[in-house]
Chains A and B, each alone.
Chain A
Amino acid sequence: MTPARTPRLALAIQVYALLGAPLAWTTQLVVGFGLTEAACGPAGRMWNIAIDTWESVIFGLALTVAAGGLASATALHRAVTRGAIDDPNGRVRFLATIGLAVGAIFVALILYTGTGVLTLEECRR
């Protein structure tokens, strides 16, 4: 997929490339952590939450969004290097490089977190 030359789409892709992966991890952390607090706390015994199921769903969604962010950053970087996007100040290329680093680190973090949550025994203290 090549980013379109229209400025609006390029802007949307830049934003996704920069913010998609971090927000995916943030969601995994907040929802996933909240889930373990709810399920393993005193009130949780009443609710019987299937932690592993939900954590798998969150993991899958977060990983997909983050991987998409990394893919966007890659596509953006390639487009800028090829000269397909207007970049008089070098700002777009700068943000594309940043997007690559951001995407890679958060994909790794989501993988790390998800495998950890799913391999450990639920609620064991």
Chain B
Amino acid sequence: MAVESPAPAAAARIDRLERIWAERPGLTGWLTTTDHKRIALLYLATSLAFFAAGGAEALAMRTQLAQPNERVIGPATYDQLMTMHGVTMIFFFVIPLSIGAFGNYLVPLMIGARDMAFPRMNALSYWLFLGSGLLVYTSLLLGMAPDAGWFDYVPLASRRFSPGLGIDFYALGLILNGVSSSAAAANFLVTIAKLRAPGMSLNRMPLFCYAILATSFSLIFALPPLTADLVFLELDRKLGFKFFDVAHGGDPLLWQHLFWIFGHPEVYIIVLPAFGIATSIIPTFTRRMMAAFPLVAVAELLVAFIGFGVWVHHMFATGLPATTMVFFAAASLIIVIPSGIQIFAWCMTMVTGRPEFKTPLLFIVGFIVFFVFGGLSGITLAAVPFDQQVTDTYYVVAHFHYVIWGAAVFPLLGGLYYWFPKVTGRMYYERVGQLTFWLVFAGTNLTFFPMHISGMLGMPRRVWTYPGGLGWNVENLLSTIGAFFLAGGLVVLLANLVVSAYRGAPAGPNPFGGGTLEWATSSPPPAYNFDVIPQVTSAYACWDDADRADDRRRLETGELVLEEGHETTASTPVDGHLDEILHMPSESPWPFVLGIVATLGTAFVLTDHYLIAAVAVALAAAVLTLWHAKEPAAA
């Protein structure tokens, strides 16, 4: 749309839309933006910065572990690096990138809307994420980073064995981060339920949106157990409560149960958006619709749902009764079925389509390889006897890096390439892109495959060094070489994207021939996304030439152009019948202000200044009142 120069009536409408949706220039614009695309770019930049930090932590650890008996880094520092690596990669890199950057940018575009349901809350989610990340990293700058692992087990994390502030930074930072993610999840749920374009019934919603839907449901139900656990921990540490203290009737296993009730759904939260990206890239580059579309849609939701019933498989070696563990072993094995449905559907689509192995599709093929390997090692871990042999060894480290690096991040890298033309308006360098795939693919395998072997040979995880002569030396050296090679490949990838952003060839609205609605508007999209709200009659709306031609006609007549204000449409949740015109808020300072108040309030709790923290809470309530002071324009 808006590619050829429009006729006079259409041009006047576009002009009005441009003026209505324009945001302030410069820094003020970025601090007060409510545009989902700009918020997504903020998430992108911030999550990539944290990625670099987490990567540096990984390289430091691999340097220390390259050879036996090294003394490059001492045990205390190693424990902090290990903890920060896990916390950073999960909470400050992969989830913000998946849902904050990709989800935010793409969901409104894919459903034919002009913004998310709650644009200001969207901005708030970003500022809270930034605040939580800065808060936790302050601990590293002060030399008191948390050091009890990303899973932070008690009694090690209790005040008695961790008297410093590190654990408090961890707990309070993650509570703040949880509020950010919960708000984002709620926003996606309402957006997907209500803001879909007219005609987009549930069976016509893009599969990426199903992935985000499943992820959002998971976040809503998984974060509260973590919050409760972290609150219990802080109450124990700061006020002497006894949740985890055996001598007073508490139980350290309570921490583990609540942590993993969150922690297992968390790993599906990490990987589900990646499945959604794979399911978006494959149809485009194979020129056919995804095979078994309804089954792939429900497989996303099933993985999320069953994922809530497997958590005890992280505790198979804690001495629980067999009749307890069997519930979770059964679910851990059955969850392979929906994952398998998706793998078969992806492969079937590629085999029966006409695949073009451009860079994005290469990353998806790599993803499938890693997901199969990681899934297989996961199945072995679902068997209690085997798990009890390899638990706490590098076998587990290998498994989860294959799934949450290989399977979760490869689609993100492929997605960066795939949507690069849409976001920047330029093409990336294809040959360099393919090279970066091979570098990163080889580097990943070289880093993580040897860990299966050292793990089965008995190398424990979470150790800062190891003695020689146990048969682990070669594997560790290979992993370290692989890690640096992988880092190099990622640097080349980043360089390709940066240079392409400045010097790539101009891209049109749909350079790859994609079928979802983000390809139906210009590259990059205007602030208001679409000249007219699209009408949808199939699941691949951008392949419906008649409908898209009809959009251009409606631009002339003004039907559903919605140029009277900041407007978009709401439809009925199940069948997508047009229901009302929504009036959306525009720029606002309140999300940024509330982000600062919340972060500072958390910092005051951290340092035991409870009275000042209470003042921060009152301030937050005041900000929320001001936020809701002005009602929407009409009706």
- CB within 8 Å of B: which residues of A? 22, 25-26, 29, 32-33, 36-37, 40, 51, 55, 89-91, 93-95, 97-98, 101-102, 105, 108-109, 112-113, 116-117, 120-125
Chain A residues with CB below 8 A from B333, complex form: 112
Report whether A109 and B334 are in contact in the complex, using a CB–CB cutoff of 8 Å. Answer: yes
With A91-B574, A117-B323 known as contacts, the answer to whether A22 contacts B297 (CB < 8 A) is no
The 8 A-B pairs of least Cβ separation, nearest first, read: A94-B203, A116-B326, A89-B201, A112-B330, A98-B298, A113-B330, A97-B294, A36-B324
Q: How far is the CA of A106 from the CA of B248 in the complex (A)?
A: 40
With A91-B575, A117-B323, A122-B323 known as contacts, the answer to whether A105 contacts B330 (CB < 8 A) is no
Tell me, yes or no, whether B231 is within 8 Å of chain A by CB.
no
With A22-B305, A117-B327 known as contacts, the answer to whether A123 contacts B297 (CB < 8 A) is no
Chain B residues with CB below 8 A from A98, complex form: 294-295, 297-298
Closest CB of chain B to A20's CB: distance in Å?
13
Report whether A102 and B331 are in contact in the complex, using a CB–CB cutoff of 8 Å. Answer: no
Chain A residues with CB below 8 A from B326, complex form: 113, 116-117, 120
Tell me, yes or no, whether B322 is within 8 Å of chain A by CB.
yes
With A89-B575, A112-B334 known as contacts, the answer to whether A40 contacts B323 (CB < 8 A) is yes
Residue in B297, B309, B341 whose Cβ sees the most chain A Cβ within 10 Å: B309
Chain B residues with CB below 8 A from A32, complex form: 327
Closest CB of chain A to B83's CB: distance in Å?
30
Encode B325-366 as 1/0 by CB contact (under 8 A) with A. Answer: 011011101100110010000000000000000000000000
Q: How far is the CA of A94 from the CA of B204 in the complex (A)?
A: 10
With A90-B203, A94-B203 known as contacts, the answer to whether A105 contacts B337 (CB < 8 A) is yes
Partner of B323, one of A36, A90, A101, A105: A36
Beyond known contacts A29-B327, A91-B202, A116-B327: 9 more, CB 8 A cutoff: A89-B199, A90-B204, A97-B294, A98-B294, A101-B295, A101-B299, A105-B334, A116-B330, A124-B323
Report whether B575 and A102 are in contact in the complex, using a CB–CB cutoff of 8 Å. Answer: no
Q: How far is the CA of A109 from the CA of B335 in the complex (A)?
A: 9
Q: Which residue of A lies closest to B536 (CB)?
A: A89
Report whether B321 and A40 are in contact in the complex, using a CB–CB cutoff of 8 Å. Answer: yes
Report whether B204 and A105 are in contact in the complex, using a CB–CB cutoff of 8 Å. Answer: no
Residue in B302, B322, B337, B576 whose Cβ sees the most chain A Cβ within 10 Å: B322
Number of B interface residues in the complex (CB < 8 A):
33
Report whether B298 and A102 are in contact in the complex, using a CB–CB cutoff of 8 Å. Answer: yes
Partner of B331, one of A29, A117, A121, A122: A29
Residue in A37, A51, A94 whose Cβ sees the most chain B Cβ within 10 Å: A94
Report whether A97 and B295 are in contact in the complex, using a CB–CB cutoff of 8 Å. Answer: yes
B293-309 contacts to A, CB under 8 A, are 294-295, 297-299, 302, 305-306, 309
Q: How far is the CA of A108 from the CA of B204 in the complex (A)?
A: 29
Closest CB of chain B to A18's CB: distance in Å?
9
- CB within 8 Å of A: which residues of B? 199, 201-204, 294-295, 297-299, 302, 305-306, 309, 319-324, 326-327, 329-331, 333-334, 337-338, 341, 574-576
Q: How far is the CA of A105 from the CA of B339 in the complex (A)?
A: 12
Chain B residues with CB below 8 A from A108, complex form: 334, 337
Q: How far is the CA of A115 from the CA of B202 in the complex (A)?
A: 36
Report whether B331 and A91 are in contact in the complex, using a CB–CB cutoff of 8 Å. Answer: no
Q: How far is the CA of A97 from the CA of B298 in the complex (A)?
A: 9
Report whether A29 and B309 are in contact in the complex, using a CB–CB cutoff of 8 Å. Answer: yes
Chain B residues with CB below 8 A from A121, complex form: 322-323
Chain A residues with CB below 8 A from B574, complex form: 91
A-B contact pairs, 13 of them (CB 8 A): A29-B327, A37-B324, A95-B202, A97-B294, A101-B298, A105-B338, A112-B333, A113-B327, A113-B330, A116-B329, A121-B322, A121-B323, A124-B321
With A101-B341, A116-B330 known as contacts, the answer to whether A109 contacts B302 (CB < 8 A) is no
Partner of B201, one of A90, A97, A105, A116: A90
Q: Which residue of B lies closest to A97 (CB)?
A: B294
Q: Which residue of A lies closest to B305 (CB)?
A: A22
With A97-B295, A105-B337, A108-B334 known as contacts, the answer to whether A125 contacts B321 (CB < 8 A) is yes
Chain A residues with CB below 8 A from B199, complex form: 89
